Amino acid sequence: MTMGLFFRLLGSLALLIYGMKTMSDALQKMAGPSLRHILARMTGNRLSGMLTGTMVTCAVQSSSATTVMTVSFVSAGLLTLAQAISVIMGANIGTTLTAWIMSLGYNLDLTAVVFPAFFIGMVLIYKKHHRVAGDFLFGLAFLFWSLVMLSSVGRDMDLAHNDDVVNFFASFDTGSYLTILAFLAAGTVITCVVQSSAAVMAITILLCSTGVLPIYMGVALVMGENIGTTATANLAALGAGTEARRAALAHLLFNVFGVVWVLAVFYPFVDMVCRLVGYTPSMSGQAERIPVVLAMFHTCFNVLNTMLLIGLIPQMERLVCRILPDMAVAEKQPTTLHFISGGVMQTPEIAILQAQKEIVHFSERMHSMFGMACALIDETDKKEIESQYARIERYETIADNMEIEIAKYLEQVGNEHLSDDSKEKTRIMLRQIGELESIGDACYKIARTVRHLREDKEDFTAGQYDRMHDLLRLVNEAIVQMIVVVSGRRNDLSLADSLSIEDDINELRNQLRSETVMGVNSHQYSYALGTFYNDIVSDCEKIGDYVMNIVEARLGKRLLSYNGLCMNLDKKAVTVDGNPVNLTRTEFDLLQLLLTNRGNVLSRRQLMDTVWAGVIVTDHTINVNITRLRKKLGPYAQNIISRTGFGYLFEE
């Protein structure tokens, strides 16, 4: 074989791998959330899980992608181990479609498909909304082109007339199990090294179709490929939790079991497959049937193996749990991340799901931290105060680390090729983790204030405690509602509740500040005590703001509200007690400015410079628009107050 032919062979295999990956990535992007929804939801029983795995693998043309997704879902707690095993079984069946596609390249002329696919892909790739479809067609074209080139290389190599190659393979005894085991091991090792069972399958078909590699040895290579392809999921699961490693191990055991029972009936089984496609191993001149034989064997192997083991999933689950027992408590109660570990999975779209689960976990930790801060406020025992303060301090460090680690993970995910939807989710999650870390900072500040209060031997009055508990209950309610939203159970009620609680927090904060000023002026307590009190109130109000920012980010809305008056800044919509109100552009801008600066007087000059920037208007224009705005706001018209000689304000 000349160097030219050798490099043509390598180039063809490289094109095959690249085409498969490009096509698979494009299909995953096109499927997007639907693919994740199918894997997460349509696995209620063994049969549906198996069918789901088959369907998804056929769709994305990669059993490795499906298996890695499944391992990711197990790691994220979205699938049980039993469900994952059934999906993996289906993935093994779905991957057989690849072998059938390859067999077409040796029996049909695919050149008529390649160039139209390239042309259409080139057109679509420059259109923003069809770019992914263009990528898919490019991948498909590269795949078919590689098959055409492999077929051509096989003919040009003419291995059947190469005495050295023929003699090498002839030196193996096809009737010996040692030979079969040797080729099985070779298929396993090569697949593990190149990380592409499709490439090894292509080489196997090439060697068998030229007549130099007997069909029995080719089948042994295919069996080895089935074991070697499990390396992808096992490598992906190395840094993951125990459940994810169990799912990857189940994939390996499933394929090894299939190889073992097929080896027990190897020659009769292969002969049966050959008869199904009308091929006789002892006869020559049937090269065109070889790819079909290998594709049929691959299908029969995986279908029969699934039929044998699908009823034994509980037993397989117990076996992998025995091999990989639960780790120490340290894994179950991590100090930082729970769902993210070991780097980004090979399917970035699914990695986003893990990051979202981690943010839910982060939210729950901050809720626990706020509970500790609330308990510390009521604590009077010095030793217990120091103990709880130290615990809150540790949680604050954990919050800092979680923000950094999740951000790094999302940056890694962002370096991959993502759909526009996933890019937006990544941006939103980066904002969420920043706000969550700020909640941790605010809780720590509350703890520090309480500690200083006790060190100064000061204490709040019973009335102050009662009012503060009202505020703490509202903030706790806001955090609970935030967790509901972050968990993905999004609905209008969640948004309305969050807005209402935020308004209640702001209103109570203003009341407490006024009461504190009155208390200091009437000498009910010292100025220092009032300062401590206001610091805690201020930090609680900030937590409410951070919570609202997270809710708005999760729901994809920028909002301004006061009780039943709500402005959606993205949709340019206003509602009064749930009823839509039609405002002009000028009226909308006026209301936005007043609500943003509520409680503060805005001069007419400020209104002119902001709402009518670059346009000369008179005081009469401002008065008319304010009057029209008031008429449309119903009960909230009275909140827009005129301060003679100063301007206007939105009064709470």
What domains can you pick out in the chain, each with its CATH number? 9-324 (no CATH), 348-556 (1.20.58.220), 568-650 (1.10.10.10)
pLDDT recorded at residue 330: 41
CA distance 16 to 28: 18
* The pLDDT of residue 199 is above 90: no
SS3 562: strand
pLDDT recorded at residue 319: 92
The Cβ-side half-sphere exposure at 310, using a 13 Å CA radius, reads 22
pLDDT recorded at residue 644: 87
Going by pLDDT thresholds of 50, 70 and 90, the confidence category of residue 344 is very low
Note every long-range contact of 160-163, with CB atoms under 8 Å and residues 24 or more positions apart, other chains counting.
Answer: 160/210, 160/211, 160/212, 162/1, 162/212
What one-letter code names the amino acid at 648?
Answer: Y
Encode pLDDT of 589-614 as tens digits.
Answer: 999 899 888 888 999 888 888 888 77
pLDDT recorded at residue 69: 66
User: In 521-535, which positions are buried (b, 16+ CB within 10 angstroms) versus exposed (e)?
Assistant: eeeebeeebbebbbb
pLDDT recorded at residue 200: 80
* The pLDDT of residue 62 is above 80: no
Greatest Cα pair distance in the chain: 109
CA distance 241 to 233: 13
* The pLDDT of residue 493 is above 60: no
Name the percent of the chain lying above pLDDT 70: 82
* Helix (H), strand (E) at residue 206: helix 197-209
Could you tell me the pTM of the whole model? 0.57
What is the mean pLDDT of the segment spanning 231-255? 78
CA distance 482 to 548: 8
Encode pLDDT of 131-177 as tens digits.
Answer: 778 887 887 788 777 777 776 776 666 666 667 777 777 788 878 88
